[in-house]
Chains A and B, each alone.
Chain A
Amino acid sequence: MITESEANDKLDAHLREMVAWHFSPETGCPFWLDWAAGQDWDPREKIQTFADINLFPHFEDEWLRDEKNERFVPKGFGNRPFNVFETGGTTGLPKQRIGWDDYKIDYEMFSDQLEDEFFPRGANWMMVGPTGPRRLRLAIEHLANHRGGSCYFVDMDPRWVKKLIGRKQIDEVERYAKHIVDQAVEILKHRDIQCLFTTPRILEAIGERTSVPGLGIKGVFCGGTTMTPQAVRFWVEEVLEGKARLVPTYGNTLMGLACSVPLDETYSVTYYAPQPRAVLRVVDSKQTDRIVAYGEYGRVELTTLTKEFFMPRFLERDEAIRREPHAPYAWDGVGDVRPFGALEKKIIEGVY
């Protein structure tokens, strides 16, 4: 494992390289070049270490809806056609991120973290989750292929689920979940599949129907929602019966994939960003240029630093505990992620 100092040096060097790429007229994209033209400072000169990232404003994901995708194409990519990946978008035009190879690189890096015992090389995968216009769909298939297997899919439309929940049609949500689980279980029963990607809710729903390890599943890679220690323990002990490996991940279209260190008896999940390609910090929600102390909750801030996409200081809609570096990661982690402001929401129960 590299030291923290070495990790910082590597991050700083990578940052300088990415800033040089995105803010050079020869390689940068119109969006950032136009932005830089409006400043009285040149990022290529001022940005030397990651501490300087605070010179940038918080990236606003609205820009990914309001700006045309072509404005985010770095000239360095020439005329190579891009993939369009969507995020959010329950109503109206969804936010879109373009990309070329990042998802492959991110998931190959992630693959290196998976244990062959539970995610055997050559094994087939199944993804039960949001496919459609999402990066995840291509990424999971690439992950399976990269590890020598094929991937089966069952689609879930989270936008429709959100609409149903918004209308309080919970029975319909359950019927839709059943529809998804019906399809997944049918395939799992009749095909040789050992690795699964899904959301915790669907994992639970499959586990209610049948034994997940009993279907031959050895490893489950899970993401997409809050994972409290108690819920994680339940999935490990009761849904996976202590037989299959659970690998929680934190990721989205804008970042890639943050891995977790193996779970211990606290079942507290801590994620580490794929540094230097992405950096997660836990900042004071009221003073966002301040990083909170270790062990404290703060808002999750994401910076993405790849040749395809430069996104400084994006404030996620999550909060988390800032955690110390943990081997093999020589940088801070984010623990017990939950929706931002989760504890401030008032839940008033009836009195009679």
Chain B
Amino acid sequence: MLPEIPILRLGKVYQSLDLQLLKAVATGEAVAKVSFANDGLVKGDLRRMDEARDVLRKVPCQQLLEITAKAGEIFLNDTLPLGADGSMQSPDDYLRQLAATSGLPHTLIRMNMQRLGNIFGEVGTILQGLTRGLDVSILDRGYGEQSGVPVSFNAVTNCLGVIMPSNSPAVNALWIPAIAMKIPVIIKPGREEPWTPWRVIQAFIKAGCPPEAFSYYPTSHEGSGAIIRRAGRVMLFGDDSTVAQHTHDPRIEVHGSGRSKILIGEDKIEHWRDYLDVMIESVSANSGRSCINTSTIVVPKYADEIAKALAEALVDMRPLAANDPAARLSGFANPQFAEWISEAIDTDLETKGARDVSATVRVDERFQTRDGMHYLLPTVTRCDSFEHPLSNKEYLFPFASVVELDQASMLDQIGPSLVVTAITEDQDWITRLLECPDIDRLNVGAHPTNRVQWNQPHEGNLFEFLYRRRAIQIAV
């Protein structure tokens, strides 16, 4: 019998009459039924979020941190309720189910699972990082002292709406700390990835978190729209047009394309081979599916050599069986995406000034199928300048462009970049990098872009997004 993933309404299971089949990418077989929420229901529940916030507010922050840490262990190891019909899900079930609907090979799911599992235990540190060392009991009382100064924080919302993507399970790491901050979450899972947020929620509940803290709505565009328009704070993942639509709304923290980059300084470029492994990992880790994967490498010279070396290093990254321990390349959950993306790249290549370097080192075409899944082989292009449309593109597979540009011009041309790894020891340039407004996260030195420390802000500081500091004077 197929598991039926229900809706959670302030922690209460609700089975919709609108049941949509979730199918395996490779076989088309149904894997689960998913309860879809009508937007009116979502709107109605959004009006009740004060109830959820009241329940969570009464649990001491330290206790919520302990619950969160425990939830991480449960997420990794326990068999948890899956649906409304008594179905259960072991960690292996989760792995197989997610692989079936996302196209991710088991190896990558294990990696993501471990990464996500570790986040729970680090939420205390994350909170310290985001609050700059605040005594968390201040969030319980609402006020206190920090470094001898009175401080008071009040939540600016009674919930955090989260519109999840389907690309990578680890992105759930971004909302997990909200629970310890006493802010209930309203989650709209990605269409092909209802599994991870559901499992995270179940782990929290088993660890002792009040169920009211969790609302979970697989829903349509209209339902997502209701969350986006009405939740006090929203974390939203989307493409460029989505970002553009919400970029000036202070309620909404948009996670769009990362366009992360590696820049090599003139002082280090002669040793570029020493940094090839950093480039390979940055481009290909997690099958290139994250916004923190490098999509452009900018160098002052040797661009042709670097592009060729990178393309050669990635040529072995090929479709393998989903359960092959050596599998590193993910299939596409939406099979058409692979073809569309490949066609888009070919169309851009018709514009002068770019070459598909990978095409010269691999035997097969970029687009591949295996076991019913659609894949794109890693692709490295060499772009003559940032004027070429491919130079700053980001795709959902290992894709990178290599651009040659003198160091002095780099920061003027890279544009908004979520992560920049700048390989240099040039202090003047490091100063300029630190002041560059286009860079969100900066790594100085040979640090892969995909390795991030979550105790530092990522596309905004979650604590400052959910709380504001107010002045307080108490005379009693």
Instruction: Give 1 or 0 for each of B1-22: 1 = CB within 8 Å of chain A CB.
Output: 0000000000000001110000
Are B17 and A208 in touch, CB under 8 angstroms?
A: no
Bound-state Cα–Cα, A200 to B38, Å? 12
Bound-state Cα–Cα, A5 to B43, Å? 47
* Residue with the highest number of chain A CB atoms closer than 10 Å, among B225, B238, B245: B238
Are B40 and A204 in touch, CB under 8 angstroms?
A: yes
Q: Which of B254-262, B382-390, B426-434 is the interface stretch?
A: B254-262
Bound-state Cα–Cα, A204 to B396, Å? 39
Are B44 and A208 in touch, CB under 8 angstroms?
A: yes
* Residue with the highest number of chain B CB atoms closer than 10 Å, among A204, A228, A230: A230
Within 8 A of B (CB), among A120-168: 168
Within 8 A of A (CB), among B236-265: 237-239, 242, 245, 255-258
Q: Is the interface of A mostly helix, strand, loop or mixed?
A: helix
Judge if A351 is at the interface, Cβ distance under 8 Å.
yes
Taking the closest CB of chain A, its distance from the CB of B55, in whole angstroms, is: 21
- Which of B18, B258, B394 sits near A230, CB closer than 8 Å? B18
Bound-state Cα–Cα, A200 to B40, Å? 10
For this complex, into which size category does the number of interface residues on chain A fall? 20 to 34
Within 8 A of B (CB), among A196-245: 200, 204, 207-208, 228-231, 233-235, 238-239
- Which of B41, B167, B289 sits near A238, CB closer than 8 Å? B41
* Residue with the highest number of chain B CB atoms closer than 10 Å, among A174, A234, A347, A350: A350
Are B229 and A349 in touch, CB under 8 angstroms?
A: no
Are A350 and B165 in touch, CB under 8 angstroms?
A: yes
Contact A352:B40 (CB < 8 A) given known A170-B225, A228-B18, A230-B17: no
Instruction: Give 1 or 0 for each of A244-278: 1 = CB within 8 Å of chain B CB.
Output: 00000000000000000000001100000000000
Taking the closest CB of chain B, its distance from the CB of A148, in whole angstroms, is: 32
Contact A351:B165 (CB < 8 A) given known A230-B16, A234-B38: yes
**B291 cross-chain contacts in A, Cβ below 8 A:** 352
Instruction: Give 1 or 0 for each of A326-352: 1 = CB within 8 Å of chain B CB.
Output: 000000000000000000000101111
Q: Is the interface of B mostly helix, strand, loop or mixed?
A: loop
**A26 cross-chain contacts in B, Cβ below 8 A:** none
- Which of A207, A231, A239, A349 sits near B190, CB closer than 8 Å? A349
Judge if B370 is at the interface, Cβ distance under 8 Å.
no
Judge if B166 is at the interface, Cβ distance under 8 Å.
yes
Nearest-CB residue, chain B, relative to A204:
B40
Are B257 and A352 in touch, CB under 8 angstroms?
A: yes
Judge if A112 is at the interface, Cβ distance under 8 Å.
no
Contact A170:B229 (CB < 8 A) given known A350-B237, A352-B256: yes
Judge if A171 is at the interface, Cβ distance under 8 Å.
yes
Are B18 and A229 in touch, CB under 8 angstroms?
A: yes
17 contacts between A and B (CB under 8 A): A208-B44, A208-B47, A230-B16, A230-B36, A233-B17, A234-B44, A235-B40, A238-B44, A266-B17, A349-B238, A351-B166, A351-B167, A352-B237, A352-B238, A352-B255, A352-B257, A352-B394
Q: A228-B17, A351-B166 are in contact. List 20 more A-B contacts (CB 8 A).
A: A170-B229, A200-B40, A204-B43, A207-B44, A208-B44, A208-B47, A229-B18, A230-B16, A230-B17, A230-B36, A238-B41, A266-B17, A349-B166, A350-B239, A351-B167, A351-B396, A352-B165, A352-B238, A352-B255, A352-B257
